[in-house]
Amino acid sequence: MLIYVVPDSVRRMAHESSIKNYWVTLGLVLMTGFVGGHRFYVGKVGTGILFLLTGGLFAIGWIVDIFTVAFGNLTDKGGNFIRPQNGGTHDRELAMTNEDSTAQPEDTAKKRPLSGCG
């Protein structure tokens, strides 16, 4: 049986938020999405040029990107999600996940109740 251990640094990288502003990205995708303005903003120049030359991938890519940005699933060039920073439930869940991931095995062993002794 193989057991994979994911280091905390890798786990944190998967949940980091982008420094790009969600509301700016949403505005750009709505107003300039057909020419790839939002793609240039988030650092994805290659797909930005593709959107520019094809009219937002013939408008289909533009419509998909509107929903992708609106639901917070668009990533920047570094792979970080562009999501609103409002202290909502996502931020609380992330904080709880980070707290749980820092627990050491000996700490959790002390908290477990003893059962079936004797």
Q: Which two tokens stand for residue 38?
A: 């939002």
pTM for this predicted structure: 0.61
Report in angstroms the alpha-carbon separations of 59 from 33, 39, 86, 98, 111: 9, 14, 31, 39, 56
**Winning range, highest mean pLDDT, from 13-22, 52-61, 79-88, 100-109:** 52-61
- Number of other residues whose CB lies within 10 A of the CB of residue 91: 14
* The pLDDT value given to residue 89: 47
Residue 87: per-residue pLDDT: 54
Nearest to 83 by CA among 36, 35, 42: 42
Looking at the chain, the whole-number percentage of residues with pLDDT higher than 90 is 56
pLDDT above 60 (res 35): yes
pLDDT of 22 over the 90 cut:
yes
Which tens digit of pLDDT belongs to each residue from 49-60?
999 999 999 999
Query: What per-residue confidence (pLDDT) applies to 24?
Result: 97
> pLDDT-derived band of residue 117, with 50, 70 and 90 as boundaries?
low
